[in-house]
Chains A and B, each alone.
Chain A
Amino acid sequence: MRSRWTAAAAAVMAGVLSLSACGGGGDQAAQPSPGGGDAKKQVEVFSWWTGPGEADGLQAMRKIFEQQNPSYTFFDAAVAGGSGDKAKALLQSKLQADTPPDTFQGHAGAELQGYIKAGDLEELNSLYDELKLKDVFPPQLIEQISVQGKIYSVPVNIHRSNVLWFNPAVLEEAGVAGAPKTLEEFVAALEKVKAKGKIPLSVGSEWTVTHLLESVLLGSLGTDAYNALFKPGADWNSPQVTRALEQFKTILSYAGDPQDDWQPAAKQVADGEAAFNIMGDWAYGYFHNPPEGGLGKQSKTDFDWAPAPGTEGTYLWLSDSFTLPKGAKNRDGALAWLKVAASKEGQDAFNPKKGSIPARKDADQSLYTDYLADALKDWSGDKLAGSIQHGVAVNQPWLAAVNEAVGLFMGTKDVPALQKALAEAAQANAQ
């Protein structure tokens, strides 16, 4: 008995030493440091795109990048989870330790403010001049992503947040003629659906309710007043905001049981259990795509869309963009990536797969069909307003405060408390 244990213990100890040695050594051998002296230099591209559609789009851009830049290899450092939550947390630790990736994904707009303030990003004005990007991106977009005249990211796509998804059959059954145009019509339609015993409005986890809030604010206040809310010194205590929040409360009272995330909520519409859902246009891919990541539904018959009530003519936008961190190991490679991300070819490869439209005005229109064709048309003519939940209008601490206020509101249904919290968040974070 004892001798067996001695043998086992000796084996264990020997194992510890050899394995840890070879574990460490083997690993270092297998890991050329990015941007080291290899023949092909790596470009570490950090994103949260791992799912069907988004990852395919990234791969399509990667192909173009590697064709155009034979001396670089694309190195995919994607981390999934909660619309980039985990990726952003990891990114923050990397930035603070001064070991940034070569380029990282971020929502264009205020979400980047923290990085800019901390001096983590290089400005890209010279790149914009070199590629004449100010001519191909809409001027309003350039204006909304500029910080004191400087631009820090290259938007690759545009998503729309204020989309009302609905089930035509459920609407017909409830006697609702078509997509409601105003918030008042919306409430009336919700009431009719409720009378039929269907879920009037489906919602997901708490962030989808913040998403709903931004569409209601825009629909109630109008585009200019909405955009003014995010300027320093804006008045969140105004009676107009109070009215919008009261409408929000009314609309929320028609919401079904919260689902686990946006997909199950959207699915309730597709399955005919619910009439309406307000979600970004990434829901289109989920409704429409074949089972590999979608529900395989027929557009216009199984599901349909319209601008969220009261927001017709305004594109409540958000955009995924890439940046140039200061101290990137492979700065030239990162710039080469940004050029692909900014190019017509890159955007037209990425966007049809991701289910979004390109930020550039000169995209190949034939690639964008069905919903995306509508979106492209609206994008070229609509006024712009920036999304709250998706990082355009508010910076990260502000968004965290808004989400907290909305999460608490879902429990209390206390409008004055919500308004107070929103006003405090704006006062603390607007810049």
Chain B
Amino acid sequence: MTAVAAGRRRASTGVRIGVLVVFVVVFLIPIYVLLVTSFKPLTEADPGQAWNLPRTWTVEAWRVAWEKLAPGLWNSVLLAVPGSLLSCALGSMNGYVLSKWRFPGADLLFTLFLFGMFIPYQGVMIPLVQLLVGLNELTGLQFYGAIPGLVLAHVVYGIPICTLIFRNYYVTIPDELIEASRVDGAGMLRTYWSVVLPVSGPAIAVVIIWQFTSLWNDFLFAVFLTGPQSWPATVMLNNIAGAQATPYSQQMAAAILASVPTMLIYVLLGRFFMRGLMAGALKG
């Protein structure tokens, strides 16, 4: 490679990094406003001063936000962790069967599953509530009005996307591996456990990221399907954010607090997420 070409390449790398940095700044604008406002006293928290740094720094808003959110945070954990793991389990088994242990009509079934992604949820809230109340009466357990019902709704409406991710991912596993296991006399579950599951890491990461985010951030299902004792953090957040006279700095501190767990998941699983995407999950 000539020196000129190398120089040109370096220059182009520089330009690319420059452009990427500009976009980083643009992407962080809303976060900047959230952050600086959250450290302002209520008198300074005002759209007119959105760009200014606080004149007086205070963590008062954070204290109040924590106080108001705390009761919901544990509910959010109880909701999002089992919910996303159950979604993984179901999605993984469905994906496995629909790609490697197919039965007649498997493609049609897959297509029918996928269509579930496209339901506008606000339109079915009323019958959904009635369905869960019916489940309560039928089973004697508490689905409606408590976290299990909320987990159930999220897991069920998560089946399409989770199945899609796992199926597309498993399609890339060579059929010979499955065949070899079968020849060894392993049954369906055994093959799943010893051949398929061990290589599922990246797809699991994609599903966990996707489901954890939607479970953690969901407001609509949460407020409709559970009662005040099991309301997650988003409902608490809404109660700070939606009130008539609005303490903006508390709201924004609460908004950041409520988003910390999802951001952590992104940082922790980010690399597997990319690997999962590259391996074909969601590639279509």
Contact = CB atoms under 8 A, between A and B. Distances in A.
B38 to A, nearest CB: 16
Interface in A41-71: 44, 50-55
A28 interface: yes
A89 B123 CA distance: 12
Most buried by B among A8, A23, A54, A89: A23
B147 A27 contact: yes
A185 interface: no
Contacts of A82: 242
A78 interface: yes
Interface in B182-211: 197-201, 204
Interface stretch (B18-26, B221-229, B276-284): B221-229
Interface in A83-139: 83, 86, 89-90, 92-94, 96-99
Given A19-B81, A23-B148, A90-B224, A285 B245 contact: yes
B58 to A, nearest CB: 12
B31 interface: no
Contacts of A291: 41-43
A34 B89 CA distance: 34
B147 to A, nearest CB: 5
Given A20-B151, A292-B42, A292-B247, A31 B230 contact: yes
B129 interface: yes
A12 B78 contact: no
A24 interface: yes
B217 interface: no
B133 interface: yes
A293 B78 contact: no
A2 B197 CA distance: 10
A89 B129 CA distance: 12
Nearest to A295: B43
A5 B198 contact: yes
A13 B200 contact: no
B198 A15 contact: no
B244 A54 contact: yes
B246 A77 contact: no
A76 interface: yes
A99 B144 contact: yes
Interface in B206-254: 223-224, 227-230, 235, 238-247
B78 A5 contact: no
B12 interface: no
A31 B229 contact: yes
A412 interface: no
A264 B125 CA distance: 33
A81 B243 CA distance: 6
B239 A5 contact: no
Interface string B50-93: 00000000000000000000000000001101100110110000
Nearest to A296: B43
B133 A97 contact: yes
Chain B contact patch, size range = 35 or more
A80 B242 contact: yes
A146 interface: no
Nearest to B81: A19
A12 B42 contact: no
B129 to A, nearest CB: 4
A94 B129 contact: yes
Contacts of B82: 16, 19-20, 23
A80 B199 contact: no
A289 B197 CA distance: 61
Contact of B235 (A79, A83, A99, A285): A79
A75 B145 CA distance: 15
Contacts of A26: 78
B230 A2 contact: no
A8 B201 contact: yes
Nearest to B64: A292
A196 to B, nearest CB: 21
A291 B247 CA distance: 9
A9 interface: yes
Nearest to B230: A27
A76 to B, nearest CB: 7
A80 B238 contact: yes
Given A9-B200, A86-B223, A263 B239 contact: no
A80 B239 contact: yes
Given A9-B204, A28-B142, A50-B240, 5 more contacts: A26-B78, A31-B227, A33-B142, A80-B239, A289-B245
> Across chains A and B, which 10 residue pairs bring their CB atoms closest together, nearest first?
A51-B243, A81-B242, A80-B242, A20-B82, A16-B85, A293-B245, A291-B42, A50-B239, A19-B82, A93-B129
24 contacts: A5-B200, A6-B198, A8-B201, A9-B204, A20-B151, A23-B148, A23-B151, A24-B147, A30-B229, A50-B240, A51-B245, A54-B243, A78-B239, A79-B223, A90-B224, A93-B129, A96-B126, A96-B129, A98-B133, A99-B144, A263-B245, A263-B246, A285-B245, A292-B247
